[in-house]
């Protein structure tokens, strides 16, 4: 590390999804000369495709002789566990809020966690160039949110910066000159006290994990006191197991997006280290066994679960490279090394072919499945179920706060649908033709709704949610109004057969798709189960009659993706996932087997 750097500041950028955190971080790196034009923090392929941050990432910039470590955090509620542990390792947070949308559910979640830890956020009102932006209103809404969340007088006296992330400009007042992001960096240096090197006994805490195929499991830690050296033996203290010793084989610090190998790391810095293969989140690293352990890092519990199974469909093994239960188990064990929001029960059945996976939401699970299929895995999963807890002898289930922005004409159908799913409306307000609705509802009622929401609002609505708490069970909820269209034959789907099926509901496949008996090829609008034969061709005769040779017009197929499948599948179905195909199928493929299962037989 450069010896001229005597001061270190650690900050995290937090916000709701798509409020501009990563764009702002990318611009900071470019203006400080640690990244080239076009470089982005969202380096993962899925992050680039979806345009969202999934994993918390570290970078650093050097400004006026001070090293500023920056942690870019996810904005989606399903990846909230990433944010929770990062907040413990920083000196302050930059709370980014959209100048049009204002505070959203994840804004509330991350701000609440920050205030509880005693951090004093700097508020960035971003995207002030939007035509419908209203910085003054948003500033007032942010202040109200601080007050509502029990902020102290010192926290209520927060500093505000106005920014346009994509242009790379920040101003202390809306009408100031729009030049660069240095006003933001200056404010960080003014308001965040530096961490000066001290000679206290070394003490650090792990807040994140990483994995390297050569070095194995690695820890990312913040040094609170003293300094740590490579090759020295350290004590590792945990709240859940006995203390043990380890030795650092590698220490890295962050310079921009690159890691720099160092021999010594000092007070206040954020490091990545190797050499302790069983390191875990929240553990304290020290050299003196008498040093006091740092407080534990609490991570919120998962809210949904589903089964991962070995694929046993008629097409099993055709497409995937990794298909056995041993390979799926090893991949899930590897995921647990870094994905602490995930929990897996590996002993769900005696055969060892079923694994119960617990996650923070449908997107959390869908991203894992998408990564696995791209790596060559083939498996099938069951319908997601919410995790039911028993508290004081009463069933409790997870509830979520849901905020919806829709054009006024669609608010009626949204309210009607959600109230059927046990949602309670808490607030409703209108601004410039857009209605904002705030509900609280069981997670069960939200599962499978997002797709219906897009249809109901003609794609013009925005839906956001966050986990609130476990509350008493809300009763039965009817999630599906449609039935399944199940194939009774195997072969290739023909356009003539699909033409006849599309009047009954939505078709999931295109002509030429290979299908098998028991595969779900569409849904039935009336809500009943229907057996169909997609391989049926037109009967050919020598007789010609007017009208018998009418043209076949097919509607575009509702092609299956992992997220769509998790939303629309029924309890008696599996989602089959392979590197190139996603299929929906019945658990029991033949009509006879389904009838036996319905009677309680096998």
Q: Which domains does the chain show, CATH number per domain?
A: 7-191 (3.40.50.300), 203-286 (2.40.30.10), 389-472 (3.30.70.240), 483-598 (2.40.50.250)
Decide if pLDDT at 168 tops 80: yes
Mean pLDDT for the chain overall: 87
Alpha helix segments (H runs only) across 35-86: 45-50, 80-86
Cα angle, residue 233 at apex, residues 297 and 199 outer, rounded to 5° = 75
Convert 566-602 to b/e letters by CB count within 10 Å (16 or more is b).
bbbbbeebbbbbbeebbbbbbbbbeeeebeeeeeeee
Residues 6 or more apart whose Cβ sits within 8 Å of residue 556: none
84 close to 93: Cβ distance less than 8 angstroms: no
Residue 367 has pLDDT above 80, yes or no: yes
Q: At what angle do helices 105-116 and 135-148 cross, to 10 degrees?
A: 50
Which residues, other chains included, contact 213 with Cβ-Cβ below 8 Å and sequence gap of 6+? none
- Taking alpha carbons only, the member of 280, 275, 277, 253 closest to residue 264 is 253
The number of angstroms, rounded, from the C-alpha of 95 to the middle of its chain's C-alpha atoms is: 19
pLDDT tens column, 258-315? 888 999 888 888 899 998 888 888 889 998 888 888 888 777 788 899 999 999 999 9
For 399-419, write each residue's pLDDT tens digit.
988 989 888 899 999 999 999
Q: Is residue 374 over pLDDT 90?
A: yes
Q: In degrees, to the nearest 5, what angle opens at C-alpha 477 toward C-alphas 474 and 480?
A: 160
Band (376; pLDDT cuts 50, 70, 90): very high
Q: What is the DSSP string of 416-455?
A: HHHHHTT-EEEEEEEETTEEEEEEEEEHHHHTTTHHHHHH
The closest of 583, 562, 574 to 516, measured between CA atoms, is: 583
Tell me, rounded to whole angstroms, the distance of Cα 335 from its chain centroid: 15
The Cα-based distances of 323 to 287, 332, 361 in angstroms read 45, 13, 25
Closest to 306 measured CA to CA, from 567, 32, 27, 19: 567
Q: Report helix, strand or coil for 62.
A: strand
> What percent of the chain shows pLDDT beyond 70?
95
Would you state the pLDDT for residue 267?
Answer: 87
Would you state the pLDDT for residue 5?
61
CA distances from 324 to 134, 189, 252, 310, 344 (A): 55, 54, 37, 6, 17
- What's the CA gap between 208 and 89, in Å, rounded? 10
Residue 366 and residue 5: Cα distance in Å, rounded? 43
Query: With bands split at pLDDT 50, 70 and 90, how would you rate the model's confidence at 3?
Result: very low
pLDDT digits (tens, 9 = 90+) for 91-140: 899 999 999 988 887 788 888 888 988 899 999 999 999 988 899 999 99
Taking alpha carbons only, the member of 138, 174, 137, 186 closest to residue 19 is 138
Q: Which pTM value belongs to this model?
A: 0.83
CA distance 223 to 408: 51
Q: Where are the beta strands (DSSP E) in 457-499?
A: 462-472, 483-487, 491-492
CA–CA distance, 421 with 235 (Å, rounded to integer): 51
**Measured distance CA(33)–CA(568) in Å, rounded:** 47
Residues 310-359 pLDDT 10s: 999 999 989 999 999 999 999 999 888 778 788 999 887 777 788 999 99
**How far apart (Å, rounded) are the C-alpha atoms in residues 265 and 271?**
7
Pairing of strands 7-15, 92-98: parallel
| Helical pair 21-31 and 182-191, crossing angle rounded to 10 deg | 90
pLDDT-derived band at 42 (thresholds 50, 70, 90) equals low
Does position 382 have pLDDT exceeding 90, yes or no? yes
**Residue 4 clears pLDDT 60, i.e. is over it:** no
CA–CA separation, 243 and 236 (whole Å)? 6
Q: Are 393 and 405 a contacting pair, CB within 8 Å?
A: no
Confidence (pLDDT) at 158: 92
pLDDT value at position 45? 78
Name the burial class of residue 489, with classes exposed (0-12), middle (13-18) and buried (19+) by CB atoms within 10 angstroms of its CB. Answer: middle
Q: Is the Cβ–Cβ distance between 481 and 498 less than 8 Å?
A: no
Q: What is the pLDDT of residue 544?
A: 67
Task: Please say whether the beta carbons of 273 and 221 come within 8 A.
Answer: yes
Contact between residue 106 and residue 15 where contact means Cβ atoms under 8 Å apart: yes
pLDDT by residue (tens digit) across 509-524?
999 999 999 999 999 9
Dist CA 493 CA 585 (whole Å) = 15
In the Cβ-directed half-sphere of 103, how many Cα atoms lie within 13 Å? 22
Partnered with residue 464 across adjacent β-strands are: 403
Cα four-point dihedral sign 168, 72, 157, 66: negative
Q: Rounded to whole angstroms, how far apart are CA atoms 464 and 18?
A: 11
Bridge partners, residue 405, by sequence: 436, 462
Q: Is 89 exposed, middle or buried (CB count within 10 Å of its CB: 0-12, 13-18, 19+)?
A: buried
């Amino acid at each position: 590390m450069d010896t001229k750097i005597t001061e270190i500041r650690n900050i995290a950028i937090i916000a709701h999804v798509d409020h501009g955190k990563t764009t702002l971080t990318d611009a900071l790196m470019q203006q400080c000369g640690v990244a080239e034009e076009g470089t982005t923090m969202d380096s993962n392929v899925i992050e680039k495709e979806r345009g969202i941050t999934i994993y918390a990432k570290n970078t650093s910039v050097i400004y006026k002789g001070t090293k500023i470590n920056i942690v870019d955090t996810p904005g989606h509620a399903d990846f909230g566990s990433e944010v929770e542990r990062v907040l413990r390792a920083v000196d302050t947070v930059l709370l980014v809020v959209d100048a049009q949308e204002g505070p959203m559910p994840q804004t509330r979640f991350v701000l609440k966690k920050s205030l509880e830890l005693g951090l004093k956020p700097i508020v960035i009102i971003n995207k002030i160039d939007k035509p419908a932006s209203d910085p003054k209103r948003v500033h007032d809404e942010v202040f109200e949110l601080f007050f509502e969340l029990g902020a102290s007088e010192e926290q209520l006296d927060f500093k505000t910066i106005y920014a346009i992330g994509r242009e790379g400009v920040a101003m202390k007042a809306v009408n100031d000159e729009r030049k660069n992001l240095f006003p933001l960096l200056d404010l960080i240096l003014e308001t965040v006290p530096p961490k000066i090197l001290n000679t206290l006994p070394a003490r650090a805490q792990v807040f994140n994990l990483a994995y390297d195929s050569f070095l194995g499991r690695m820890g990312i830690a913040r040094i609170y006191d003293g300094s740590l050296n490579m090759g020295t033996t350290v004590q590792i203290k945990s709240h859940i197991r006995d203390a043990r010793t380890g030795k650092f084989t590698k220490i890295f610090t962050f310079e921009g997006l690159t890691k720099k190998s160092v021999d010594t790391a000092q007070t206040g810095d954020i490091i990545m280290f190797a050499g302790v293969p069983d390191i875990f989140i929240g553990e304290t690293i020290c050299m003196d066994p008498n040093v006091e352990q740092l407080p534990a890092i609490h991570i919120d519990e998962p809210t949904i679960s589903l089964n991962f199974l070995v694929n046993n469909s008629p097409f099993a093994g055709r497409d995937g490279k990794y298909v056995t239960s041993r390979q799926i188990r090893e991949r899930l064990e590897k995921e647990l090394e870094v994905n602490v929001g995930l929990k897996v029960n590996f002993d769900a059945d005696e055969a060892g072919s079923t694994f119960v996976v617990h996650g923070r939401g449908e997107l959390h699970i869908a991203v894992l499945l998408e990564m696995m299929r791209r790596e060559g895995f083939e498996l099938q999963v069951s319908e997601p179920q919410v995790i039911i807890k028993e508290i004081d002898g009463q069933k409790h289930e997870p509830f979520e706060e849901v905020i919806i922005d829709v054009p006024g004409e669609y608010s009626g159908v949204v309210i009607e649908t959600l109230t059927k799913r046990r949602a309670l409306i808490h607030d409703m307000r209108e601004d410039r033709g857009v209605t904002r609705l705030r509900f609280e509802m069981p997670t069960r009622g939200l599962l499978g709704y997002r797709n219906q929401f897009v249809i109901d609002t003609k794609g013009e609505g925005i839906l956001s949610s966050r986990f609130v708490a476990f509350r008493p069970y809300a009763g039965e909820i009817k999630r599906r109004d449609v039935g399944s269209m199940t194939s009774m034959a195997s072969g290739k789907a023909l356009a003539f057969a699909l033409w006849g099926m599309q009047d009954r509901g939505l078709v999931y496949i295109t002509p030429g798709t290979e299908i098998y008996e028991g595969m779900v090829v569409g849904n039935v609008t009336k809500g009943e189960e229907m057996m169909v034969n997609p391989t049926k061709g037109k009967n050919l005769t020598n007789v010609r009659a007017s009208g018998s040779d009418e043209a076949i017009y097919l509607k575009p197929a509702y092609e299956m993706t992992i997220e769509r499948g998790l939303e629309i599948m029924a309890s008696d179905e599996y989602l089959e996932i392979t590197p190139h195909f996603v299929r929906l199928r019945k658990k029991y493929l033949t009509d006879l087997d389904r009838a036996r299962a319905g009677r309680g037989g096998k």
